[in-house]
Structure 1
Amino acid sequence: MLYDVIIVGGSYAGLSAGLQLARARRKVLVIDAGQRRNRFAATSHGFLGQDGQAPDVIAAEGRSQLMEYPTVTWVQDSVVQAAVEQGGFSVRTQCNGEFQAKRLMLATGVVDELPAIEGVKERWGTRVFHCPYCHGYELDQGRIGVLAASPLAMHHALMLPDWGTTTLFTNGVFTPDAEQQAQLDRRGVTVEPGGVVRLSGERADVELVDGRVIPLDGVFTMSRTHISPLAQQLGCELADGPTGAYLHTNETRQTSVAGVFACGDTSLAAGSVALAVAEGVRAGVGAHFSLISG
């Protein structure tokens, strides 16, 4: 079967894009490996109508609604290769062979590379976070740490005092200059220049090289993000983001390769369920108009 659109990635952005196309009665194939970026978090916040809901419940309900449309097919698999072909695209999966479509949607998200500090990975999504809007409120104005992974930690450090008492652990990554230090002082941020050995305890206590332990309720850090190799296989143009490369798209969310669209974290230097859903709408509509115009 030749599908109208293959969507690679069935998380929030992919589901949202698929819904627009399904409602236009287009033949859609969603291929999903089941690795949502926020799978480690117990609750999702900031998405109107779903605030405080478990991420897997939001995703499951979205899939259930999408699959009510008879033109949608779902394959649980990983796409290992994508290619441009005459009149469209082909993708090869790990277990289910090849599929073809007139248009291709990359909603593959990103992989997070976390700071190589003991205790960070184990607490990712539960006590170590990336988005204050998603998780800051639940820390109840408590003790918040910012673990620097790059000079961009200043961004977190200046935001987070609105959510609690904030300490910036520069960890040898950078030293605030005089102007930055003045900004931190105005926001009431404490700066700890010592090296961080590990995070420990029931929450996210920071153990420093000098032996001190600073108790915290939560820690924010910026991961390095990596997009799927499918984009490079297809020859899509990349843009440099604050945490890593992402896919460059136009206003319809079409990439530099005609007929290839992208949405969600793979094409937006941000990480939010609400933003992913919104971007999915734009990409789904964009792909539909592309099919209409030929």
Structure 2
Amino acid sequence: MTYDVIIVGGSFAGQSAAMQLARARRKVLVVDGRKPRNRFAEASHGFLGQDGKAPAAIIAEASRQLGLYKTVTQLQGEATEIGRDGELFALTLADGTTQRAARIVLATGVRDELPDIEGLQQRWGKTVIHCPYCHGYEVADRPLGVLAGNPMSVHQAQMIPDWGPTTYFTQGQWEPDPEQAALLDARGVVIVRSPVVELLGEATDLEAVRLEDGRILPLGGLFVAPKTHLTSPLAEQLGCVLETGPTGRFIRVDNFQQTTVKGVYAAGDAAVAMANATMASAAGVMAGVAAHRSLIMPD
């Protein structure tokens, strides 16, 4: 079967794009591998109308609502290869089947590469977090830390005191310049240069960190800046131009979420340097609307 649009990725961005196209009565296929980036978080926060709900529950309800539209097909699977087939795009899945469409929306997301520190991975999404707007409220009024991982970490450390007393761990690599150090001092941020080597506490709770110099510092929440990697090779296979942000590469798009390849749109974490659920959903809406408009007015 040939679709008007195939959307690769069924999380906030992908399903938001699908909803616009479904309501435009276009034939849409949503392909999703069911491994969203936010699967480690117990709740989504800061998302209007969805605050405190589990990400999986939000997606499940969105999927149910999409299922009410007769022109939408939802398929669990992994998209492995994409190319042109005349005027159409041909998408190959891991099971060997091929699906075709006039337009593509890439909502494939990213994966996080966390610092290799003992005890960190098991706390990811609970007491080890990356976004203060998403999770800062839940760890507020505890001693908090910012684990430096890129040049933007020092700016994050300037923000975190709004949630609790803050320590900035340079990890021996990301030293603030004099102006930044003065701003940190004005915000009451303590700078620690000995690297964090272990996180301590029961289960996913965080009680303290052990430093390379042997000190143990009490801590109730740790903000990190993981490196990000595109989860899918499809954008590169299509020849989409990528950009490099503070944490990793992402797909270049214009104001209508169109990539540098005509007929290919991208939305969500794979197509932005700074991401959250609300922005992913909004970008998905734009991608869906723009893909629909391009089917009517291809030029």
TM bucket normalised to smaller: over 0.9
Aligned mates of 1:279, 1:70 — CA distance in 2: 24
Partners of 2:83 and 2:90 within 8 A in 1: yes
2:279 matches 1:275: yes
Match of 1:190 in 2: 190
Partners of 2:150 and 2:246 within 8 A in 1: no
Match of 1:291 in 2: 295
Following superposition, the deviation at residue 84 of structure 1 comes to: 2.2
CA displacement, residues 57-116 of structure 1 (integer Å, 9 cap, x when unaligned): 111111111111000001100001111221120111112511000001100000111111
Aligned mates of 2:216, 2:65 — CA distance in 1: 48
1:18 alignment partner AA: A
1:206 alignment partner AA: V
2:157 alignment partner AA: A
Partners of 1:131 and 1:271 within 8 A in 2: no
2:279 alignment partner AA: L
Aligned mates of 2:179, 2:101 — CA distance in 1: 53
Partners of 1:151 and 1:173 within 8 A in 2: no
Aligned mates of 1:57, 1:240 — CA distance in 2: 32
Aligned mates of 1:252, 1:246 — CA distance in 2: 16
Match of 1:245 among 226, 249, 253: 249
Alignment of 1:63-74 (within 5 A): 63-74=63-74
In structure 2, list runs of 5 or more residues that go unmatched.
none
The number of aligned residues is 294
Aligned mates of 1:232, 1:21 — CA distance in 2: 25
Match of 1:263 in 2: 267
Match of 1:159 in 2: 159
1:209 alignment partner AA: E
Match of 1:209 in 2: 212
2:6 matches 1:9: no
Aligned mates of 1:13, 1:164 — CA distance in 2: 32
Following superposition, the deviation at residue 122 of structure 1 comes to: 1.2
Match of 2:33 in 1: 33
Aligned mates of 1:49, 1:103 — CA distance in 2: 31
CA displacement, residues 194-238 of structure 1 (integer Å, 9 cap, x when unaligned): 021111213232110121111211110111111121111100011
Partners of 1:10 and 1:30 within 8 A in 2: yes
In structure 1, list runs of 5 or more residues that go unmatched.
none
Following superposition, the deviation at residue 176 of structure 1 comes to: 1.5
CA displacement, residues 35-59 of structure 1 (integer Å, 9 cap, x when unaligned): 1111000011001111111111111
Which SS does the other structure have where 2:168 is aligned? strand
Following superposition, the deviation at residue 281 of structure 1 comes to: 0.5
Aligned mates of 1:106, 1:119 — CA distance in 2: 34
Aligned mates of 2:283, 2:143 — CA distance in 1: 33
TM norm structure 2: 0.96
Match of 1:222 among 222, 225, 244: 225
Partners of 2:170 and 2:194 within 8 A in 1: yes
Aligned mates of 1:47, 1:219 — CA distance in 2: 22
Structure 1: which 4+ aligned runs deviate by more than 6 Å?
A: none
Match of 1:140 in 2: 140
Match of 1:234 in 2: 238
2:136 alignment partner AA: G
1:225 alignment partner AA: T
Match of 1:170 in 2: 170
- Measured on the aligned residues, the alpha-carbon RMSD in Å equals 1.0
Which SS does the other structure have where 1:287 is aligned? helix
1:212 alignment partner AA: R
Aligned mates of 1:276, 1:38 — CA distance in 2: 12
Which SS does the other structure have where 1:119 is aligned? coil
Aligned mates of 2:233, 2:119 — CA distance in 1: 29
Aligned mates of 1:96, 1:12 — CA distance in 2: 27
Partners of 2:38 and 2:55 within 8 A in 1: yes
